[in-house]
Every structure is written in structure tokens, then in C-alpha cells.
Structure 1
Amino acid sequence: MKYIGNKTRLLNFISESMDNFGVCKNGIFIDLFAGTNSVAKHFKNKGYKVITNDFMTYSYIFSKVLIELNEMPKFIKLNGLDEALNLLNKEHYLKGYVYENYAPGGKFNRQYFSDKNAMRIDFIREKIQQWLRENIIDENEFLVLLVSLIDAADFVANISGTYGAYLKIWRSMALKDIKLLPPNITNNHLNNKSFQLDSNAFVRELSGDIVYIDPPYNHRQYAPNFHFLESLAVWDKQELKGKGGLRDYKHQKSLYCQKGKAMEVFSDLISNIQSQYIILSYNNEGIIPREHILKTLNAIGQVKEYTTHYRRFRTEKNHEKRQYKQCDDKTIEHLFIVKK
């Protein structure tokens, strides 16, 4: 999944920096802004007990499956997961919410999905909801199928990286038929947990050995940029707004994306974390100045900073609200590690 701030290609850098610093190799690892769960899953596979948090529903659902579950549910009433996916991957169609709001043949003539894929998404989403309602599947089985659908839908979406806008010309992947695949669930034999809370409230309630922080770093709010994923996860069928078909996201705005608020909420977060180690990922083009980060972290413990060059996540050109500090496609990722 393309995602703002996705750390998949930085996992080795993060692990090597932690080893260099001497961070403990077991215990409780908390990921405060889980996103795609790539970091959380990496450290689950390394044997940590993992606790995740993210305010977006789709991220929370991915955490419930990829982090909390240690084995695939049995899908007994459907004769196993493979048979469940076979049933859903058959070519059944429904002109429903996704078709009307996200496809060119729908009422609003949007081009996020082909008509065919939109109708397939509608059928599958309604079918798994029906199976849950009729007790054909349980909650965990439902979440596994929902993760599979969200992942498959994102793969055939006609976007450049986010759902801030759809493409006017069809990308080749968007014209492929949607196909659900099983999520990759790994077992670390530990009681991992997932939460959907405000991060600053979360740290006041839970503690761990390591807290990993990867907050939003620029003005781009996650809720409008990934609105379709949230709609598919929540399935509340909101009336959408504007040309792009945005959800109402007032309650999901992050203060970390607001220049006038980011430093204040960051300082509050750091001062209330209960852990031996704090690990912060932040970009050199972020809203919070490096000097403020270092001042805040140095106030609570021993700090070491690591950096690496990284290909930026770019879906837009320079404009009034977004001026890239470097003209090429490379940016600098900072990793701050603190021991209290």
C-alpha cells in the first residue's frame, strides 16, 4: 500500500540504529502511529510483544489482523479461508455505494475505480457484512476478509498515491480485475494488542519498554488523503462532499499537521511517555524544527540522532502550501533514540 510516511524501506535502518544505540532486544514495543503497520509487524517478527495505536479505522483494522492475531481463523462455516476467498472472488456485481460515489458510471462520475471493480467491491463488502450478521463468520474472520478487501481495492485504485484526487487517465493497474488474497499473519506467541485512540491520551494510560513515534510531519492530513479506505472500513455510507468525494473528517484532524499546534502537542506527548526508550522518526521537511525536537528530547534523557537519505513520497508539485526544501526526489529521514 502506498502511504504517506510508510517506513517499509527504512526497517533495516531503524533496526540497525537501535542495535547501535543498544536498545533492548525484547519486551513491549509500542507503535503510537501505526499506519500500514509495517514497523509494528517487523518488530512482532523480531519477538517483541507489540502494542499498536492509530486514530484511523482502516489502520486499526489492519492492526487487529496483522498484529493481534497470531494464527489465521478457521472459517469453519465456509470450509476454510481459501473457499471463502473463492466465493468472494467469483464475478458477482452490485451497483451500490462504491459504484455510485467512486466510479464513472455512478451518480457523481468520479474515477477512483473502474465500474466493474466498483461493483465488485460493493458486492464483496456487503457480502462479508451479511456473513457477519448471519453468524457465518465471527468478528476476527470478518476483519481478515475486510483487510483482504481493503488491500485488494487499494491495489486497483486509479490514484497516484493518495485518494486526494483520482487520475484523469486510467493507470494500467486500475483496469485489472480486483482479486482478494489472504493477509500474511505471523505468530510471535505473545499477547499483542491494538488500540484506536488519540496518541497523546494513549501515552497517559499505557507504558512499554520501547515507544516508537512516527507522527504526521507535514500539512497533509491522513483522513482526507485516505478517505476511501476509511469509508470502506467503517461502511457508514456517508454523503460525500466535493469533486473528490471527501468524508466528513472534522473529528479526525491531527494537530501534528498544523504548524501552529505541532510543537505543543509533540512536547506534551514526549513529556507523558512512560518507557525506557523513545524512538522518533521524523523528516527533514517536517513542521517541527529539529532544534525543538532535540531540546524536548534532551530534557528527558540521553539522545542520539541517526540519519539516512530516503526517496520522498511525492504526489504533488510545489505550490503555495507545499514547497519542497530539496528539488530532487531525495529527502533525509532522522531517527532520534532516547534512553531515559
Structure 2
Amino acid sequence: MLYQRQYPHYVKYMGSKSKIMNFVLEGINAVHTGGVVCDLFSGSASLAGAIGDQVTVHSNDIQAYSQVLAKAYTESYIFPSMPSSFDIIEKARHRVSYRGRSLKDISSDYYGDFKLADFHRIENQQRDLISKDFDFKWHLFTKFYSGTWWSVEQCLWIDALREQCERYRGTPIYEILLACLMYAMAYTSQGTGHYAQYRDAKTDSSLKDILIYRRRSVSKYFAKKYDEVIMHLSNEKPRFEHKATAFDFRECLKYLSGGTVYADPPYCFVHYSRFYHAIETLILYDYPSIQIKSGKIVKGRYREDRHQSPFCISTQVRTAFYDLFAGVANAGSNLVLSYSNTGMIGVDEIENLMLNVFPAKKIEIMFTDHKHMTLGRQRDRHRDVEECLFLVKN
């Protein structure tokens, strides 16, 4: 019987199942009889966080940041000569101080008593850095995102801390360091918890609120989370051989055999890559091409190559579900599917697709109020629900 352990929170994530994890685990426990648990669309990797100490977890998501979060939950442990948050921050501070001198003409003082016009002048000056040529390597966020979700000073810190993370690539805390930086970005960003578009200061009230976040310290939030996480880390290697991949879901299913698939695909027409492109860029750190529209850089400064999920496209969603079910059937795996009656297609359509792919299997639905319905060719009526789990046991 799988149960929810305590695990750290790293990112603000839409659609995260952390708040209904016990409900999700009830569904998994109903069908899981052994083998790996594959989280096919792992997102913020909360499932790996919840059960990674009890069973082998294969976390998969086409976004690279998800792979990092999964590894932070399942592959990290204390090792000799592990750095303290002070060590990391001090090394980053030297980088910020040195690099900041080359940007001394760019204002980043948000503590003065200034009006909206002054704030806009400062922000516009920072946003113009996207056209600047830099003479130091770690400048991606300073160039791309200054004056957007973060100030130029905050971006200097993000870049410097990202550089320090790289010094520990290949160690058991590399992914934890990156995850803690994602946390610091989330809680210093002046946005609404994601990175679709940053807020504009249109009134004195909105300016006052934005300034709260402009004055937050990236380094302090990073250190706070890092110190919190390592306090609870084990000094032993994980006893399960977990896996974390960044495959398309169809590709991932080709590698599975048996076990249980937990599938939580996107429900609506908006693409997660639009909301979380900034942390994807943090992980890849590849200076991507930025989307241009009508000859101008889009306000959200999205990656040109951001992923478009077929589950978010009305002409592709049915085929995507069929491919998902067929892949699970071919793998001989159990299936737990999270979906909603407010999704891209109706619950009835999902039932029919499942019955076509799993004609000889018992299909069960669990609702958020934990009432059950068993489906067959003569299936019961179902009612409006916000969230439900479809269960298929092989």
C-alpha cells in the first residue's frame, strides 16, 4: 500500500496533484500489484516526491525541468564535502558584484520614493538589455528577462547561482540545487505564479504590489529552501533504481513493461510550455530564439521552440488519447488516468475510447468524493465532477 510521505515543495504549478495526492494514491493502490509506477506526465514531479521512498518510480515529461524535479526527489543524498548554502551564495555574490559593475548605468534601486513614470523608465531600461552584447558567459537571464518577471539585479543572481549549480553537475545534489533555484525564481517573480506574462504597473496599487517582489532577494530564497531540504536528506543512496526521462509520452510507453501508468495529461487548450518556459530555459540554459510576432518580441518572451501538446489541440486530442491507451495496453500495464469533465473532450468520449482499446477489461471511475462507478458496455450514468480517476487493471 503506497502512502504519501512528506516532501519539499519547489515550484508553483498549475494542475499539481499535491493537494489531492491521497485521492491519486487511492486510485493507484486500487490497481497496482507490483513493478514500476510510471508518472507519464510528471510536471512538478509531486508523485515521485510522495512515493519515491516506497516503490520504483519512472517519472517522464517532455519538459526538461520536470526531469530535474523528479531527480531532486528521488536521487539526492548527502555526500562528503557537500557545500553549504553560505559557500554557494558567497561564490555567486562575487560574480554578481563583478558583473554588476558592467551594468552600473542600469538602475535597479526599488527602494526610493518614485512615481509610476519613474518605475516605467527603470523597467524599460532593463528590458532593453535584450539588445545588449555581454562580455561574460553566464548572462542569459540578465539579457532576456531583466525588467520582466525579475529585476536586473535578481537576474544577475539567477545567472550567478545557475553557474554555481553547474559546478556540482554529476553529484547527488545537482538537481536539488537547480530545484532550489526554481523555488527562488517562483517566489521572487512579480508574476502570478507562472511565466505566461509579467504584470504591468498601471496604478499606484499595482506598483506597490510589484515592488514587494522586486525587493525580494533571490539568494535568500535559494538559501532558505536549500537549507530546509538538506536537513532532511538521507546520507544513504536511494534503495530503488528510479528513472527520470524527458520523452514524448508515446516514446516513453515503448520502454515500459508491466507496472502501473499514472497519466495526468493537460486538460485544456493552454500549453504548459507557455506558463513554464522560463524554468525550462533555466535548465537548458541554451540562449534560445525568442518568439517574434508582428516584428516584435512577444511580451512573454517565450522560447520559439516551446512544446505544443496534442492534448491541448482540439484536432489532435482524440488521437493522443488513443495513442496513450494503446501504448499502455501494449506495455501490459495498469492505468490510472486523471481527467476532468471540463477537459478538452468529454468524460463519455474518454470512456468510449477506453472501451475500444480495453474491451475485455473492467474500467472503473473514482470521483473526487470517492464514490465509484464500474463501466462496461452497459455502464452506469455518471454525474458532473470536477476531477476523476479512470482505472484499468491488467
Question: Which bin holds the TM-score, normalised by the shorter protein?
Answer: 0.7 to 0.9
Q: Aligned residue for 1:80?
A: 83
Tell me which amino acid in the other structure corresponds to 2:287: K
What TM-score comes out, normalization by structure 1 length? 0.80
Q: Does 1:303 align with 2:352?
A: no
For residues 46-89 of structure 1, what are the alpha-carbon distances to aligned partners after superposition, in whole Å with 9 as ceiling and x for unaligned? x111111110011111122212x152344x2xx53445444357
SS in 1 for 2:31: coil
Q: Does 1:225 align with 2:275?
A: yes
Maintained 8 Å contact 2:194/2:275: yes
Q: For residues 255 and 158 of structure 2, what CA distance do their matches in structure 1 show? A: 38
Cα RMSD, aligned residues only: 2.5
For residues 100-146 of structure 1, what are the alpha-carbon distances to aligned partners after superposition, in whole Å with 9 as ceiling and x for unaligned? 22122xxxxxx2012321121122123333x35xxxx6354433322
Q: Does 1:44 align with 2:52?
A: yes
Q: Aligned residue for 1:204?
A: 254
Q: Aligned residue for 1:117?
A: 154
Runs (4+) off by over 6 Å:
none
Within 5 Å, which residues of 2 pair with 1:89-238?
90=93, 93=96, 94=99, 96-104=139-147, 111-129=148-166, 131=167, 138-168=170-200, 169=206, 170=210, 172-178=212-218, 179-180=221-222, 181-182=225-226, 183=229, 189-238=239-288
CA deviation after TM superposition for structure 1 residue 235, in Å: 0.5
Which sits farther off after the overlay, 118-127 or 31-40?
118-127
Maintained 8 Å contact 1:303/1:336: yes
Structure whose CA Rg is larger: 2
Q: For residues 247 and 97 of structure 1, what CA distance do their matches in structure 2 show? A: 13
Q: Percent identity?
A: 24
Tell me which amino acid in the other structure corresponds to 1:302: K
Q: Which runs of 5+ in 1 are unaligned?
A: 105-110, 310-329
Q: For residues 258 and 352 of structure 2, what CA distance do their matches in structure 1 show? A: 23
Q: Which runs of 5+ in 2 are unaligned?
A: 1-10, 101-138, 201-205, 292-297, 370-383
Q: For residues 386 and 233 of structure 2, what CA distance do their matches in structure 1 show? A: 32
CA deviation after TM superposition for structure 1 residue 331, in Å: 7.2
Tell me which amino acid in the other structure corresponds to 2:362: Q
CA, structure 1 residues 305+185, in 2 after alignment: closer, same or farther (shift >3 Å)? farther
SS in 2 for 1:249: coil
Q: For residues 166 and 331 of structure 1, what CA distance do their matches in structure 2 show? A: 33
Q: For residues 25 and 86 of structure 1, what CA distance do their matches in structure 2 show? A: 46
Within 5 Å, which residues of 2 pair with 1:24-39?
24=32, 26-39=34-47
What TM-score comes out, normalization by structure 2 length? 0.70
CA, structure 1 residues 141+247, in 2 after alignment: closer, same or farther (shift >3 Å)? same
